[in-house]
């Protein structure tokens, strides 16, 4: 199948949750032998219009990273690519709507990957996009509710979560230097302070913790640890690749999830797969509860929801009564292969349905 991903920015030029999600999926499809094209801004040296890397063809729609030029040139790039299906993120909404307009003329179905609404985008444009896409993908039921709120039909939205490398989870050797762990990009939504305040409540107990991740909130987190006088027991190793992160998660006993905005709690998923007891703070804009609440969590998942640092501290103490684990085999359903299969099934269905119109 020839799949075209449309995104002005790629992981080469902008590291975001959306570009990571698209990079992971495009790579997995290419590994399976599908013909994968990424229509984007030119991030490589030289003026040649295409660039091949890891069996993926990158096509420069625009070399100046101009949103207006990208939109105006996108129809021609799509026509040259001639894909079976087009995959585009919901934001910037103007890019997604331009892709849909062009593909309507080309008679090519469009799958919109809806990660999150972006501040400043037009609600009316989101409504038009939600109602016109041939299929929509959300990472969680929480986001699906948002998309439905924009007017998308119930049967048009598929929930497909991010995937993890479960083989790595099974094979990695645990690093038992850390008892409690927090892992996420440290941005304005990280809310790592709740975790640190909970740890401060436990300063009389024996423990070591790690805050994995980097970002603009890192210095504030370190300062908070110093102010709470727990800096000697909280490590800040920065952002770590999966191969280094997973051993720490397998060695840890508790994973704390406190971010205020989380379309899907991917790092919590890694922690649960690695056998951690997951403790998540209730947040209006977070889907973490979908992995923790008893009505939705997988068998053998151990964890709870809290609403304050004190409750988090209490749950950490309670978690110490549970046996330490390093793998929860039920989470193999989040492995790359079954999740990629979900995308391929969706692509095939939307291509087949499009042929009837």
Per-residue pLDDT of the chain (357 residues; tens, 9 = 90+): 999 999 999 999 999 999 999 999 999 999 999 999 999 999 999 989 999 999 999 999 988 899 999 999 999 999 999 999 999 999 999 999 999 999 999 999 999 999 999 988 999 999 999 999 999 999 999 999 999 999 999 899 999 999 999 999 999 999 999 999 999 999 999 999 999 999 999 999 999 999 999 999 999 999 999 999 999 999 999 999 999 999 999 999 999 999 999 999 999 999 999 999 999 999 999 999 999 998 889 999 999 999 999 999 999 999 999 999 999 999 999 999 999 999 999 999 999 987 654
CATH of the domain at 80: 3.40.50.2000
CB of 56 closer than 8 Å to CB of 38 = yes
**Are 207 and 325 within one domain?**
yes
* Of 25, 165, 133, 6, the residue nearest 76 (C-alpha): 6
User: Do 321 and 346 share a structural domain?
Assistant: no
Within this chain, do residues 57 and 157 fall inside the same structural domain, yes or no? yes
Cα–Cα nearest to 302, from 330, 275, 277, 338: 277
Residues 143 and 214 in one domain: no
What's the total number of domains in the chain? 2
Return the pLDDT at 355.
67
For 336, how many CA atoms within 13 A lie in the half-sphere containing its CB?
16
pLDDT at 154: 87
Domain co-membership, 103 together with 245:
no
Same domain membership, residue 175 and residue 45 = no
Looking at the structure, do residues 63 and 178 belong to the same domain, yes or no?
no
Q: What is the pLDDT of residue 357?
A: 46
With CA atoms as reference, report the closest residue to 242 among 131, 146, 336, 103: 336
Cβ proximity of 172 and 166 under 8 Å: no
28: which residues sit within 8 A by CB, 6+ positions away? 163, 336, 340
Give Cα 34 distance to the centre of its chain. Answer: 22
7 with 150, same domain?
A: yes
Are 328 and 339 in a shared domain?
no
Do residues 151 and 278 both lie within one domain? no
- The reply to whether 19 and 155 lie within a common domain is yes
Alpha-carbon span 135 to 257, nearest angstrom: 31
pTM: 0.96
The reply to whether omega before 92 is within 30° of 0 (cis) is yes
Mapped to the 3 state alphabet, what secondary structure does 66-121 carry?
CHHHHHHHHHHHHHHHCCCEEEEECCCHHHHHHHHHHHHHHCCCEEEECCCCCCCC
- HSE (side-chain half, CA atoms, 13 Å) at 90: 33
Q: Do 280 and 225 have their domain in common? A: yes
SS3 286: strand
Which residue range is the domain that position 199 belongs to?
A: 166-334
2, 36, 265, 269, 272 from 330: Cα distances, Å: 32, 31, 17, 11, 10
């Amino acid at each position: 199948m020839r799949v075209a991903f449309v995104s002005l920015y790629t992981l080469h030029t902008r590291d975001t949750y959306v570009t990571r999600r698209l990079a992971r999926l495009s790579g997995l499809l290419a590994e399976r032998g599908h013909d994968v094209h990424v229509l984007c801004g030119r991030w490589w040296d030289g003026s040649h219009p295409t660039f091949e890397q890891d069996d993926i063809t990158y096509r420069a729609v625009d070399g100046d990273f101009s949103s207006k030029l990208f939109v105006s040139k996108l129809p021609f790039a799509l026509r040259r690519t001639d894909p079976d299906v087009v995959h585009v993120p919901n934001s910037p909404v103007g890019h997604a709507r331009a892709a849909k307009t062009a593909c309507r003329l080309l008679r090519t179905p469009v799958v919109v990957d809806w990660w999150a609404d972006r501040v400043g985008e037009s609600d009316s444009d989101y409504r038009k996009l939600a109602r016109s896409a041939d299929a929509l993908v959300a990472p969680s039921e929480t986001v699906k509710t948002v998309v439905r709120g924009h007017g998308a039909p119930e049967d048009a939205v598929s929930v497909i979560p991010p995937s993890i490398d479960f083989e790595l989870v099974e094979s990695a050797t645990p690093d038992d230097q850390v008892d409690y762990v927090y892992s996420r990009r440290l941005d304005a939504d990280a809310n790592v302070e709740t975790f640190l305040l909970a740890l401060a409540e436990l300063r009389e107990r024996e423990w070591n913790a790690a805050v994995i991740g980097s970002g603009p909130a890192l210095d504030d987190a370190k300062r908070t640890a110093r102010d709470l006088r727990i800096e000697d027991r909280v490590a800040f190793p920065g952002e770590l690749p999966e191969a280094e992160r997973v051993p720490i998660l397998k060695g840890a006993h508790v994973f704390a999830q406190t971010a205020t905005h989380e379309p899907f709690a991917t790092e919590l998923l890694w922690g649960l797969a690695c056998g951690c007891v997951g403790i998540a703070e209730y947040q209006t804009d977070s889907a973490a509860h979908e992995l923790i609440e008893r009505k939705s969590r997988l068998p053998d998942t151990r964890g709870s929801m809290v609403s304050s640092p004190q409750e988090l501290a209490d749950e950490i103490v309670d978690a110490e009564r549970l046996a330490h684990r390093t793998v929860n085999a039920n989470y193999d359903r989040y492995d790359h292969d079954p999740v990629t299969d979900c995308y391929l099934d969706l692509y095939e269905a939307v291509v087949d349905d499009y042929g009837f119109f």
